[in-house]
Amino acid sequence: MEYRYGHIRRGAECGQQCGGNIVSDTSIGISSVTANLQTRLVSMDLGPLFGLWFQSIFAGFTMRALTICIFIIVYGRMIEIYLATSIAPIPMATMLNRESGGMGQNYLHSLFALGFQGFLIIVCVAIYAVLVKSISVSTDISKAIWTCMGYTVLLCFTLFKTGSPAKSIFNAH
């Protein structure tokens, strides 16, 4: 029994490790930057300080809006998957019927497309985690803020687009 199903157990362990990597890799080591942040800010003139303050306010507001947008997209897609699976008995009952068997087949196409869309969402978040981890915050704080915001906009855009390729691959309507 262990030999036959060992690959499933190893796959589950790999999935747990990958999920842990996504969660732990998205953190930026901000503690190393804040150690000398005060001395760097004291040495700056009033103009660059005001510019940095304005950038921080704008980026903070934009990131909150993008976070809400990403939250709505991800949770909306997951609720869509749950709703599609909850009505499974209705279209599956028509699978063997000759006249209305197309309804069950179309349902399976859309269900597989939704599952693939969930997979694409996970891939997008994993890529985002790698990109955010590569941001260097020790050299230029302003560049790090804009880079992080750019990556978050990119994540939001790709999450919006996960439905189109999934539906086209599985020929779902």
Q: Provide the pLDDT for residue 32.
A: 58
- Residue 38 and residue 35: Cα distance in Å, rounded? 8
So what's the pLDDT on residue 69? 93
pLDDT mean over 47-55: 86
Q: What is the pLDDT of residue 9?
A: 46
CA–CA gap between residue 134 and residue 128 (Å, rounded): 10
CB-CB neighbours of 91 under 10 Å: 20
First to last CA, the chain: 41
pLDDT in tens, 80-127: 989 999 998 888 888 888 787 788 888 889 999 999 999 999 999 999
Q: What range defines the domain where residue 133 resides?
A: 2-169
Domains contained in the chain, number: 1
Is the predicted pLDDT of residue 153 greater than 80, yes or no? Answer: yes
Amino acid 100: pLDDT = 77
